[in-house]
Chains A and B, each alone.
Chain A
Amino acid sequence: MPPERETRRTTVPVTIGGQSIVLDHSGAAFLPETDDLLVADLHFEKGSAFAARGQAMLPPYDTAETLRRLEKVIARVKPARVICMGDTLHDLAGDARMSESDRNRLARLVGRQDWVWIAGNHDPAPPEGYGGTAAEELRVGDIVLRHDVERGAHSEIPAGVVIGHYHPKAAVRARGRRISGRCFATDGRLLILPAFGVFTGGLNAREPAIAGLLKGDFQVFMIGKNGLFGFRREQLIPDPKRAA
């Protein structure tokens, strides 16, 4: 209704570990120097995982919808390489539940440019028969791309790290309403990508699991309907229910 505001942006360039990364309104991120597109946590076949367990009969369209979004961002950005940051499949049996047409769409997509599958906790092995290469982690310039942060000691600390895994979302107060949405979260050294899959839930960025990984004064970029909106840590409201 009101006039366009300058704050509405569909991409936001940030610098992680000295390297420039463009955050995209779709939930993907783009490395302009190497022409890489990053997407995290697609969770293909999450819906059918529930039906298979005799639980809720959720709409079986999540894989197709996630693929559609992926096709769209790839067509727009035309990267040289796509990097899936892990948890591409919701579970190891997910591949078998995928429909023929979804499988073909994914194969076509993988064949279009270079493709890397980073291993996730839901899918330690990459989906078979689609091509692409598998990796535990990937180093691009001074930064490391992984599914989750590395636990335990690391001999060589990289300048920057990009991960998925935590499905960050953020909540803010605006004119008496609470608004929440998926977000990117970063402290300038670590960047956590939002989940790209349509059925993936989220974890409040103020939760210790996420906030504990980031330096005190971190920042998030929340995905609105048509743009990205930046907020600082203290502007975010936590979930009322905190894990014990």
Chain B
Amino acid sequence: MTADLPDILQSWFATRGWNPHRHQLAMLDAAQSGRSALLIAPTGGGKTLAGFLPSLTELISEDPLPAGLHTLYVSPLKALAVDIHRNLEQPIAEMALPIRAETRTGDTPQSKRVRQRKKPPHMLMTTPESLALLLSYEDAPEIFSSLRCVILDELHAIEDNKRGDLLSLGLSRLHALAPQARRVGLSATVAEPDRLRRWLSTTGHAKGVQLVLGEDGAEPDVKVLETRAEMPWSGHMGAHAVPEIYEQFKDGGTTLVFVNTRAQAEIVFQELWRLNEDKLRIALHHGSLAVEQRRKVEAAMVRGDLDAVVATSSLDLGVDWAAVDLVLQVGAPKGATRLLQRIGRANHQLDNPSKAVLVPANRFEVLECRAALDAIHAHTLDGIPERPGGLDVLAQHILGMACAGPVDRDALFAQVRTAGPFARLSREDFDDVFNFVGTGGYALGAYDRFKRLRENEDGLFEISSKTAIRDYRMNVGTIVEAPTLKVRMGRGRVLGEVEESFVNYLTAGDTFVFAGRLLEFVEVRETSVITRPGKGDAPAVPAYVGGRFPLSTHLADRVRTILSDPTTWKNLPKQVTEWLEVQRWRSLLPSREGLLVESFPRHDKHYLVAYCFEGRNAHQTLGMLLTRRMERAGLNPLGFVATDYVLGVWSTKSPENADLAALFSEDMLGDDLEEWMAESSMLKRTFRNVAVIAGLIQRRHPGEEKSRRQVTFNSDLIYDVLRSHEPNHVLLRATRADAASGLTDVRRLANMLARVKGQITHRHLDRVSPLAVPILLEIGRESVYGAAIDELLGESADELISEAMENIGTKELGFDAA
């Protein structure tokens, strides 16, 4: 097969002492027969070169060198695009090839961007958002007419989300502009390669895309840390194990320490420094830190200047480090696929095993880590339910296409259906979205005179104003960030960004840990949080939103299996088996298929604990629905708390004699769910994202803050009005689809209720069971989810009043309030 490799490339491989990998040649073979291909290989298998090799071959073989754009490379990360560009420049320079490669991202200067459109390079490295912008220019057909290849990197990280929808729609447009271009997908190991093949194809069928598998590396060497400390009953930080973590990388070589949240990253980092007597070079990396800071850490890592990095999912993707010797996962992995990808960050030489250690943060997490280990040994990964493309993303794409030039509605519909996630889009949905873009799509037709898209005499739709084009370009993309403020040291250096909602909690003098330091909050000035070095060592830790993934269905299943079968406990630490043994003696062990529910009194309240193992999101939804039912049954529920494993509800009446089959029956997913979903703040947040992506409301941009009260709308108000006047509006449909597929995990809850039907075991106990301790400890620590706003307001007023009464006796509050 090497015969197909041009001499110059063959000798380049030879001078480096390399032989092309089998999968690299297979990719070349696919390209030479004009086929699109998907390469699935672990990191470090020469995956990127495999993607570019066919393009280099084509450009070398064609004489004279063709002008115009030949290969487009799209990465979900700006930094990765830059890094790949740098890596590609090396062989180009070494072979003295006249090939021009450039990067185009949000950071590219305006003058260079203009030049790139006039005279495109042979190879362009970009992001999904920059591609969408390029496609919205009138000259897009000229730019892309010569395109021969599109390379999509880290496809596994983007395929099942809205950025993937946007990219896929961009590809459908590219296919119309350059039908000759083949597609190349590069992905880490996934459960269902055919999904990615369907996503890549223009027909919705996997067959059209050749699957190439990289060489399997050696089996990873993974252990679960057995702590010397007392295994915590609850909590997710893993701070108890920090001394042992430190020992791991003291003699483990360069270590990557993955954690699950940014708050956890700060704590683990802080604790490690406290122990760092050997002056190891330890760094911190998470998504809230200033970009320059993150780049510095990455560069130091590449140079081999660091002993360890504590990181969140901010390092799941991206720059390749050959030098990582050990990966630590602190806190439960939540899913087998993600864990495997993280472990794959260690030791990129394929013949050496990746080494990893899992560090559970509490007792339940020990079971989860064990389950993940079993999954890795059994080579089973997490399947993800397929979701149709977002209608909000489609709206953005339609507007973008109208910015590029007059749109033929029927042709655009046909084009959109060649995008994998939209292959089954109905004409009705398309028309509704199209009308939304044009006139808002309201039944009233009130805006027919203010059209955003106007039909011309040829029946094509043109954009009606420059404002609309500007708004599109300012708002492109599907990532809707929570509003953030910059964190500054004094009035100087920016350390990073925190969510506005976090800053709302701070009063002057409060301390918090950020960017590895203890900071004292001084004040908010404009869009910055002004801080100074804090004193003492008891910070109020940042409660960052997000960063938590729910337990995957696959791992949950394995956890239930372990729990139900004591013969599998031999691999568990003694503290954990003792805990389970006492549970077995005092109550019951949860079974694999059924549902164990315990109830018991404690102090003046009654508790009901359900061992569902369906993840936080599903449990929160269940908690909301269950408490409604309990209320109707007269049990007087007061609140609930949900973890990934368990749901706990407390009430004033004992559920001892409650009809659990009725309480947990499937029909709770009917009216109650509808009603709750419509009211819930979760749905309102989802709507906000949908409304921003679809272009109904504008993003906030830096510098516009002062006038934002005039131009931004409270999306909750729009949601309420739309819901009462046009409940079937396309954006509400898009919101419900998002909620059903992701946030609330309704589908998962439905499957569980169906599974446990007729298999619910209720144990009434005289006191708390061992297995119930962790959830009781969560009460008060977790903010109680779903309690009605009014109740919180009422309670807050009560608390404040009683506090005030204690201090000032019975003095009237306020002035004339009755």
A interface, CB within 8 angstroms of B = 1-3, 5, 7-8, 12-15, 48, 51-62, 64-65, 99, 171-179, 187-188, 198-199, 201-203, 219, 222, 224-227, 229-232, 235, 237, 240-244
Does B142 lie at the interface of the complex (its beta carbon under 8 Å from any beta carbon of A)? no
Which of B263-271, B419-427, B715-723 lies at the interface?
A: B715-723
In the complex, 17 of the A-B residue pairs with CB atoms within 8 angstroms, ordered by the A residue number, are A1-B638, A3-B636, A5-B791, A7-B798, A12-B818, A15-B816, A54-B467, A58-B696, A61-B442, A61-B722, A64-B725, A172-B793, A173-B796, A199-B713, A219-B814, A229-B794, A230-B814
Q: How far is the CA of A172 from the CA of B142 in the complex (A)?
A: 56
Tell me the minimal C-beta distance from A17 to chain B in angstroms: 11
With A15-B816, A53-B467, A201-B709 in contact, do A61 and B444 touch (Cβ < 8 Å)?
A: yes
Contact, CB under 8 Å: A48 / B722: no
8 A Cβ contacts from B630-658 to A = 631, 636-639
Tell me the minimal C-beta distance from B466 to chain A in angstroms: 8
Does B61 lie at the interface of the complex (its beta carbon under 8 Å from any beta carbon of A)? no
Contact, CB under 8 Å: A177 / B440: no
8 A Cβ contacts from B783-818 to A = 783-784, 787-798, 800-801, 813-818
Chain B residue with minimal CB distance to A187?
A: B815
Which of B452, B636, B796, B813 contacts A172 (CB under 8 A)? B796
Contact, CB under 8 Å: B631 / A1: yes
Contacts of A176 in B (CB 8 A): 783
Contacts of B801 in A (CB 8 A): 7
Contact, CB under 8 Å: A241 / B504: no
With A1-B637, A14-B817, A65-B725 in contact, do A203 and B709 touch (Cβ < 8 Å)?
A: yes
Tell me the minimal C-beta distance from B795 to chain A in angstroms: 7
Tell me the minimal C-beta distance from A94 to chain B in angstroms: 13
Q: How far is the CA of A99 from the CA of B446 in the complex (A)?
A: 8
Tell me the minimal C-beta distance from A152 to chain B in angstroms: 26
Contacts of B356 in A (CB 8 A): none
Tell me the minimal C-beta distance from A203 to chain B in angstroms: 7
Contact, CB under 8 Å: A222 / B450: no
Q: How far is the CA of A174 from the CA of B783 in the complex (A)?
A: 10
Classify the interface of chain A: helix, strand, loop or mixed.
loop
Contacts of B718 in A (CB 8 A): 58-59, 199
Contacts of B441 in A (CB 8 A): 57
Contacts of A202 in B (CB 8 A): 714
Contact, CB under 8 Å: B793 / A224: yes
Tell me the minimal C-beta distance from B452 to chain A in angstroms: 6
Contacts of B81 in A (CB 8 A): none
Tell me the minimal C-beta distance from B789 to chain A in angstroms: 6
Contacts of B276 in A (CB 8 A): none
Q: How far is the CA of A57 from the CA of B438 in the complex (A)?
A: 9
B686-726 near A? 1/0 per residue, CB < 8 Å: 00000000011110000001100100111001101110111
Q: How far is the CA of A60 from the CA of B444 in the complex (A)?
A: 8
Contact, CB under 8 Å: B450 / A52: yes
Which of B696, B726, B798, B800 contacts A57 (CB under 8 A)? B696
Q: How far is the CA of A225 from the CA of B681 in the complex (A)?
A: 13
Chain A residue with minimal CB distance to B639?
A: A1
Q: How far is the CA of A206 from the CA of B631 in the complex (A)?
A: 38
Contact, CB under 8 Å: B501 / A179: no
Contact, CB under 8 Å: B791 / A2: yes
Q: How far is the CA of A47 from the CA of B813 in the complex (A)?
A: 40
Does B527 lie at the interface of the complex (its beta carbon under 8 Å from any beta carbon of A)? yes
Contact, CB under 8 Å: B452 / A54: yes
B233-245 near A? 1/0 per residue, CB < 8 Å: 0000000000000
Q: How far is the CA of A240 from the CA of B464 in the complex (A)?
A: 38
Contacts of A55 in B (CB 8 A): 467, 471
Does B503 lie at the interface of the complex (its beta carbon under 8 Å from any beta carbon of A)? yes
Contact, CB under 8 Å: A1 / B788: yes
Tell me the minimal C-beta distance from B437 to chain A in angstroms: 8
Chain A residue with minimal CB distance to B801?
A: A7
Tell me the minimal C-beta distance from B344 to chain A in angstroms: 37
Contacts of A242 in B (CB 8 A): 524-526
Does B741 lie at the interface of the complex (its beta carbon under 8 Å from any beta carbon of A)? no
Classify the interface of chain B: helix, strand, loop or mixed.
mixed
B interface, CB within 8 angstroms of A = 436, 439-442, 444, 446-447, 450, 452, 464-465, 467-468, 471, 485, 500-501, 503-505, 524-527, 529, 627, 631, 636-639, 695-698, 705-706, 709, 712-714, 717-718, 720-722, 724-726, 729, 783-784, 787-798, 800-801, 813-818
Contact, CB under 8 Å: A7 / B725: no
Chain B residue with minimal CB distance to A175?
A: B792
Q: How far is the CA of A230 from the CA of B639 in the complex (A)?
A: 24
Q: How far is the CA of A173 from the CA of B507 in the complex (A)?
A: 12
Contact, CB under 8 Å: A174 / B792: yes
Contacts of A231 in B (CB 8 A): 797, 800
Contact, CB under 8 Å: A51 / B450: yes
Contact, CB under 8 Å: B442 / A60: yes
Closest 5 CB pairs of A and B: A57-B440, A60-B446, A174-B796, A176-B783, A174-B792
Which of B724, B783, B816 contacts A65 (CB under 8 A)? B724
Of listed B525, B784, B793, residue having the most chain A CB within 10 A: B793
Tell me the minimal C-beta distance from A233 to chain B in angstroms: 10
Which of B465, B713, B796, B800 contacts A54 (CB under 8 A)? B465
With A13-B818, A57-B440, A225-B788 in contact, do A179 and B638 touch (Cβ < 8 Å)?
A: no
Tell me the minimal C-beta distance from A116 to chain B in angstroms: 26
Contact, CB under 8 Å: B505 / A173: yes
Tell me the minimal C-beta distance from A5 to chain B in angstroms: 4
Q: How far is the CA of A126 from the CA of B282 in the complex (A)?
A: 68
Tell me the minimal C-beta distance from A242 to chain B in angstroms: 7
Tell me the minimal C-beta distance from B523 to chain A in angstroms: 9
With A1-B631, A1-B791 in contact, do A56 and B505 touch (Cβ < 8 Å)?
A: no
Contact, CB under 8 Å: A54 / B468: yes
Tell me the minimal C-beta distance from A173 to chain B in angstroms: 7
With A1-B638, A8-B794, A244-B706 in contact, do A61 and B721 touch (Cβ < 8 Å)?
A: yes
Contacts of A237 in B (CB 8 A): 504
Tell me the minimal C-beta distance from B186 to chain A in angstroms: 38
Q: How far is the CA of A229 from the CA of B803 in the complex (A)?
A: 17
Which of B696, B698, B709, B792 contacts A177 (CB under 8 A)? B792
Tell me the minimal C-beta distance from B594 to chain A in angstroms: 28
Chain A residue with minimal CB distance to B463?
A: A54
Contacts of B526 in A (CB 8 A): 241-242, 244
